[in-house]
Structure 1
Amino acid sequence: MSLSSAKRLGKRVIGYPETSVPVVSAIDYVVQIFDTPTSRLKTYLISLFPILSWITKYNLGWLTGDVIAGLTVGMVVVPQGMSYAILATLPAEYGLYSSFVGVLIYCFFATSKDVSIGPVAVMSLTVANIIKHVQHTDPQFQGPQIASALAAITGFIVLGIGLLRIGWLVEFIPAPAVSGFMTGSAISIAAGQVPGLMGITGFDTRAATYKVIINTLKGLPRTKLDAAWGLTGLAGLYIIRYACLYLCKKYPRRARLYFFISVLRNAFVLIVLTLAAWLYCRHRKNKAGKYPIKILLTVPAGFKHIKRPDLNTELLAALAPELPVATIILLLEHIAISKSFGRLNGYKINPNQELIAIGVTNTIGSCFGAYPATGSFSRSALKSKSGVRTPAAGIITAVVVIVALYGLTAAFFWIPTAGLSAIIIHAVADLVASPSQVYSFWRVSPLELFIWLAAVLVTVFSSIENGIYTSIAASLFLLLVRIAHPRGSFLGKVTVRESSGDKSEREVFLPLDKGGVTHEDLKVVPPSPGVLVYRFEESYLYPNSSIVNSALVDYVKDNLRRGRDMTNVKLSDRPWNDPGPSRGGAVQDQTDNEKKPVLHAVVLDFSTVSHIDTTAVQALIDTRTEIEKWADHPIEFHFASILSPWIRRALIAGGFGTGISASKVREIAAVVPDHYDTSAVPEYRSEDVESGTDLKKQRSVSDSTGGNEFAPVVSPETPFFHIDLAGAVRAAESGLARVSN
């Protein structure tokens, strides 16, 4: 009885349906993509506005947490926003514009409750470098004009990436590369702010970091009175921070109180420094209209620069070379931060939706005069620790920013710029990787430590742009090397017993060359002579296809018998690449050859192979051809644990699994005409195809139960495909017994 008949009769069926070879078609693939397009479109449109999934369930408990977190972040983002605008060589109000639009717009598109969008140090320094580059190319453009255009273009690019759902491209940049880039950038930013902290002038603080450090040391004798405000502010920030940490440990019941005191240290220090600057400078204006220290001066109230961004052709041409690095920083920093806080707080973010969020934020922000904004690590951590409940906390933060923008700008006049430098240095210091984190890179993957180190050194000795390009290039190179040179091993058997007292035993397969993975005293038993078991620990693709070919062919030639006696073959008849031993050693060579076992079957464990391509299948065909030519008889190729229908389809196309002779399928990726003779390659016999498989056992079980209870796990038309490695090895070894009989 067939399985289809059993199903019609209501019989229970175990295993895969007994149909023809289960090969998926290209039509199946297209149908999967375009299945129910209307439903997919509806789901896609709803997913663009995550706020719809939680706003209807909003409650008073959530409101309390959001108000506290929103107010807390607002008190931090105001001084930081102005500081970062100065870092970007823009007037201070542009930092407030970016802060307002970032926190307000993001909450409507966010899938992360913790992330706070706004000006950040790395992006601000990048904007400063881009403004410098564009003005060097065409001095007619002003800094705010360049920054707003950059926000519009990069925002639109990132928005397009999110809408097209290709945010997975960010996954090609690993954590060590991000950490190295952030560490190098933090060092560069801090080094560039030290001259402002000390009041030292006379050199370019946006040059390579090592030059800035050297020039700062040379300029120490020119330190001005600004250092009194800068050093005092920096010391005050760290004193408050560590004092609060100490008090939190000593008085854990009041830890939340000390936490909020620590949070407000930026605002507190800036207020004290501003009061001191006002008291000292208000009557000390010289004849040139300058004050003894550098202060912020006039900050216009309200949105004075609302207009569409200037996107003329000349500006776009000048910005074009700088767009890649600005876009990478915009999306890379945000995705890294949002993923980190999602992992810490137990929720999952949607990277594509996050890209849409920052894309919309920057596109709209450019109309308000804002410069590029992305996720801030320090403010996101603060928001998370403050007990934020939903993304709606951003609305509260926006209210704080708008109040400051309209009501506090008169007080901003007296803010000392050295104090803003202190705030920047204090903020970016947390971006530097800790020694324990760097050591963890070494413990986990030593090569990735060198990627981290390269990113830091290039950033410090060249530029942020070159640092991020270096880290990405090094990461992609390492990825390609790992794909092109994966691990592979020949396997043997080990009998294991559970340590819990259970006396049941089972066989597992481990590498014959233990390589420090298993216990040194563990004895791994090779499979039966004439059977090879090989596991390839990577997808089987064109960069690594030659690895399997070399491993199998070399092992066979070194350890298994050559089928043809070459002792009486004339030297002139031998191929140029196999001249053989000298005449005196030919007999000994043949004697050694006869001591080796005869190859019968090769078992390939495909449990770790998720993809295969045309080049790899052709390499496998070539491997079979070379091995059979060496053995001078047909060799069975068994495959275990093939879980992808596309891999099954590819292998069947290459003549594997079904018992098709090697002479029937020689080329599927030919680059030269197929004019050579294949008659020398022996044919598989029909009994070879049917022998040594799980099929007979399955059929006998099916016959004994009337054919109603069980079905073959693999199709009868692909007897050399096996559901697991143990079954594949048993099938190969059972073929040995048949041959010996």
Structure 2
Amino acid sequence: MASNMRFQHCYVYGLVVIKMSQVFSDDAVSRAMEEIKSNPSSRGHGGAILPHMHKVSGPPKQTLFQDFKHSFNETFFSDDPFAKFKDQTKKRKFVLGLQSVFPILEWGRGYNLKSFKGDLISGLTIASLCIPQDIAYAKLANLEPQYALYTSFVAPLVYAFMGSSRDIAIGPVAVVSLLLGSLLSEEISDFKSPEYLALAFTSTFFAGVVQMALGVLRLGFLIDFLSHAAIVGFMGGAAITIALQQLKGLLGIKKFTKKTDIVSVMTSVFKAAHHGWNWQTIIIGLSFLVFLFITKYIAKKNKKLFWVSAMSPMICVIASTLSVYITRADKDGVAIVRHIEKGVNPLSINKLIFSGKYFSAAIRIGLISGMVALTEAVAIGRTFAAMKDYSLDGNREMVALGTMNVVGSLTSCYVATGSFSRSAVNYMAGCKTAVSNIVMATVLLLTLLVITPLFKYTPNAVLASIIIAAVMSLIDYEAAILLWKIDKFDFLACMGAFFGVIFKSVEVGLVIAVAISFAKILLQVTRPKTAVLGKLPGTTVYRNILQYPKAAQIPGMLIVRVDSAIYFSNSNYIKDRILKWLTDEEILRTSSEYPSIQHLIVEMSPVTDIDTSGIHSFEDLLKSLKKRDIQLLLANPGPIVIEKLHASKLSDLIGEDKIFLTVGDAVATFGPKGLDL
């Protein structure tokens, strides 16, 4: 009997040596054999002798405070912003602190004449673009033109000292102006009243406070909840809504709806067709609109001629103003700007509302407009930072944008943010630093002090043409087509936001965009992907059998991968999905005379975390498997997961010898013998 046992051991030993020699080098085989001789526990399941397998271990034990501190730092301070302050003198820490708040103190030390030349040219170029745009955008917010000019003077100055983007151009933008105007008009219908102006400034104040708070508390990741698809749809819908709003100025209509949806606007246009259109206004508007589109086409075809498109709005304003002044077309019904206040920003701190019936409305409007402005600015800043290959501190950007809007609200400005069209011109004009914003602000100051009376005869039709030409670039139909090709749910989010804006209102479209973005997140969290894995021939790699049809399943085993963290929101679904895979596979294997399933391997490398509900679901899964006489094996649980498995004693229920480093280890231990591993 003893001799028979020794014969079996020698026979198995010989098979292992032959098998290992086919896979490993002679040195590796020798080391493995020494390990087998010195460590009998390295023998595998059923008496088979296997190469040594590493045991899955958890992270070092930490106290509750250490664990909380690590999680907090990973969530909010993963970039370690305080690292540069370590081991520094108090004086040096003070300097570094100032540079953190005012980046201009850091890069300004190396500023030179060559950089200034680039910033001067780009600053003058974007100033020529922003002046006519500002006068037009003020109308979208139902404000007098000077308030947009005030905004383009103060806000860029503040940002230049505090912002970290070299290319972004600051000022009023079409989408935020329209959003602010529509939200304000819901509260106060009289645009000329002091209350309307006070509510605009107060909303700007709270928009800045929200932006600053997100930056200081390092909560900038919240704006990422508005998906790219939703932004594409929202911006496209807003562009069309803005363009339709300009039909009033383009056609010379006097009585026009205050609603922004496409049905109300087109109804208002057709009602005025018989008696409300002005042919002189139409000629002026369409002529300059065609000119603007031609210059944009020229600039698009030849990037070096970007200045042609950048200068065209100012050319339109000058030419149209002169023509109206000479012909006195305003007497024939051509609507003109008439008056723009001359002088520097007056203080508006005494106009802010901190009590009364409009206080809650100011907070709500500030929150919505501030978040939209922040999303647009961060997206623009990141785009140009990537093009020039420099890093952009998102939290610092939020603090800078928030500060400039708070300061702006105290100096007769409304919500400002980054403008894509002006930032693109700034970039192509060769800007080097944020000094281009200072140059632009200086030009705006001179405009406010000297030039504003000259805009008296500027026709509204030209301003409408400038806005239409500017917002058309926001309609990104190529991105929508790409969304359809890549992800149908993303396309649904895009179209939901788009139609919400054009058929209802800007704020409704924004709500739809956010709602669909959250719905996608919830769907992905509550219904994560699972996959059945098979072994690729001639390798030790296990992959999704649907993606790799040649991947072969292991006889007597089912390998399932869970592609998500396991939380209360999805734990029951994951358990049910695994059991569904198991039931379906058992039916298939029975009909194909494959061996029945004795082992279920759950591949857990994508599972980054598991909570109490997840633990309970695995306990329920374990009970269900025991009733079917199937063993549960786990492969490659992460450090957090393995720690929680040990803490909950689930690892004891499963069995420490049934938790493996890889799927290959689990198959090698419990799989059929003689399998080509």
Same fold (TM over 0.5): yes
Change (3 A) 1:304 1:437: closer
Q: Displacement, 1:303?
A: 2.1
Measured in 2, the distance between the counterparts of 1:300 and 1:188 equals 29
Amino acid at match of 1:240: T
Aligned with residue 370 of structure 1, among 413, 417, 421: 413
Q: Which residue of 1 aligns with 2:111?
A: 58
Deviation at 1:408, TM superposition (A): 0.4
On the 8 A contact 1:197/1:231 being kept in 2, the answer is: yes
**Contact (CA 8 Å) 1:556, 1:627: kept in 2 or not?**
no
C-alpha distance in 2, partners of 1:93/1:426? 22
Partner of 1:702: none
Q: Hey, what does 2:68 align to over in structure 1? A: 30
Helix, strand or coil at the partner of 1:532 = strand
Deviation at 1:295, TM superposition (A): 1.3
Residue of structure 2 equivalent to 1:586 = none
Question: 1:621 matched to which residue of 2?
Answer: 619
Note if 1:301 corresponds to 2:355. no
Q: How does 1:529-678 map to 2 (within 5 A)?
A: 529=556, 531-557=557-583, 559=585, 597=595, 599-631=597-629, 635-640=631-636, 642-643=637-638, 645-657=639-651, 660-661=652-653
Matches within 5 A, 1:72-471: 72-136=125-189, 141-221=194-274, 222-224=276-278, 225-245=280-300, 248=302, 256=304, 258-281=305-328, 292-303=333-344, 305-308=346-349, 309-314=351-356, 315-434=358-477, 436-471=478-513
Is residue 135–residue 141 contact of structure 1 (8 Å, CA) maintained in 2? no
> Are 2:526 and 1:526 equivalent residues in the alignment?
no
Please say if residues 116 and 376 of structure 1, whose CA atoms lie closer than 8 Å, have aligned partners that are also in contact: yes
CA distance in 1, matches of 2:592, 2:417: 70
Change (3 A) 1:37 1:406: closer
User: Could you say which residue in structure 2 is the equivalent of 1:712?
Assistant: none
d(CA) in 1 for partners of 2:108 and 2:333?
52
Aligned equivalents of 2:293 and 2:69: distance in 1? 61
Alignment partners' CA distance in 1, 2:81 and 2:501: 47
**Structure 1 residue 230: Cα displacement:** 1.5
Distance change (3 Å), C-alpha of 1:44 and 1:24:
farther
Structure 1 residue 167: Cα displacement: 0.6
**Which has the larger displacement, 328-337 or 421-430?**
328-337
| Corresponding residue SS for 1:124 | helix
AA in 1 matched with 2:213: G
Distance 1:726 1:63, change over 3 A: farther
For the structure 1 residues 153 and 294, does the alpha-carbon distance in structure 2 shift closer, same or farther, using more than 3 Å as the test? same
- 2-side partners of 1:102 and 1:449: how far apart? 35
Task: Specify whether residues 164 and 321 from structure 1 end up closer, same or farther in structure 2 by C-alpha distance, changes over 3 A only.
Answer: closer
Return closer, same or farther for 1:155/1:507 CA change in 2, 3 Å cut-off: same
Quickly say closer, same or farther: Cα 1:137–1:596, change in 2 above 3 A.
farther
Measure, in 2, the Cα distance between the counterparts of 1:485 and 1:542.
Answer: 12
Cα contact 1:162–1:354 (8 A) shared by 2: yes
CA–CA separation in structure 1 for the residues paired with 2:536 and 2:591: 28
Shift of 1:19: 8.8
CA pair 158-594 structure 1, distance change in 2 beyond 3 A: closer
What's the TM-score, normalizing by structure 2? 0.82
Deviation of 1:313 (Å): 0.8
- Partner residue of 2:669? 731
Shift in alpha-carbon separation, 1:528–1:656, aligned structure 2, 3 A: farther
SS in 1 for 2:541: strand
- Partner Cα separation in structure 2 for residue 728 and residue 393 of structure 1: 62
Q: SS at 2:246's partner residue?
A: helix
Distance 2:442 2:232 in 1: 33
Paired AA for residue 543 in structure 1: S
3-state secondary structure, aligned to 2:619: helix
Aligned partners of 2:633 and 2:659 also within 8 Å: no
**Contact 1:134-1:319 within 8 A present in 2 as well:** no
Cα 1:545–1:262 shift into 2, 3 Å: same
- Does the 8 A contact of 1:185 with 1:464 survive in 2? yes
CA change 1:230–1:24 in 2 (3 A) is: same
CA distance in structure 2 between the aligned counterparts of 1:38 and 1:275, rounded to whole angstroms: 57
CA–CA distance in 1 between the matches of 2:585 and 2:239? 57
Q: How many equivalent residue pairs?
A: 602
Q: Distance between the aligned counterparts of 1:101 and 1:375, measured in 2?
A: 14
Q: CA deviation at 1:607?
A: 1.8
| Structure 2 gaps, min length 5 | 1-52, 86-92
Q: Deviations over 1:596-631 (max 9, x none)?
A: 746543322122122222111211111011111221
In structure 2, relative to structure 1, the CA distance for the partners of 1:27 and 1:245 (3 Å cut) is closer
Report the alpha carbon displacement of residue 305 of structure 1 after superposing the two structures with TM. 2.6
Q: Structure 1 pair 386/724, CA: closer, same or farther in 2 (3 Å)?
A: farther
- Aligned pairs for 1:498-537 within 5 A: 506-512=539-545, 514=546, 517-518=547-548, 522-529=549-556, 531-537=557-563
Query: What CA distance in whole angstroms lies between the structure 1 residues aligned with 2:56 and 2:292?
Result: 73
Could you tell me how far apart the structure 2 residues matched to 1:215 and 1:179 are? 28
Tell me how far apart the structure 2 counterparts of residues 19 and 556 of structure 1 sit (CA, whole Å). Answer: 28
**C-alpha distance in 2, partners of 1:112/1:464?**
28
Percent identity reads 26
Q: Is the 8 A contact 1:534 1:605 kept in 2?
A: yes
- Alpha-carbon spacing, 1:69–1:723, altered in 2? closer, same or farther (3 Å): farther
Q: Does structure 2 conserve the Cα–Cα contact (< 8 Å) formed by 1:177 and 1:475?
A: yes
Q: Structure 1 residues 279, 332: CA separation in 2 closer, same or farther (over 3 Å shift)?
A: same
Quote the residue 2:50 is aligned against. none
Map of 1:10 onto structure 2: none
Distance of 1:31 and 1:77 partners within structure 2: 47
Question: Residue 458 of structure 2 aligns to a residue in which SS?
Answer: coil
User: Greater helix percent: which structure?
Assistant: 2
Tell me, yes or no, if the aligned pair for 1:162 and 1:355 is still in contact at 8 Å.
yes
1:466-505 maps to which residues of 2 (within 5 A)?
466-496=508-538
Cα deviation 1:78-101 (Å, max 9, x = unaligned): 111111112211111001011111
Structure 1: tracts of 5 or more residues without a match: 1-14, 249-254, 286-290, 497-505, 562-591, 663-688, 690-717
In the alignment, the residues of structure 1 paired with residue 57 and residue 607 of structure 2 have an alpha-carbon distance, to the nearest angstrom, of: 24
Deviation track 1:559-586 (CA, whole Å, cap 9, x = no partner) reads 559xxxxxxxxxxxxxxxxxxxxxxxxx
Separation in 2 of the partners of 1:453 and 1:620? Answer: 40
Which residue is equivalent to 2:28? none
Question: In 2 relative to 1, CA 18–327 (structure 1 residues): closer, same or farther, beyond 3 Å?
Answer: closer
Paired with 2:571 and 2:56, the residues of 1 have a C-alpha distance of: 32
Q: Using the alignment, how far apart are the partners of 2:346 and 2:67 within structure 1?
A: 52
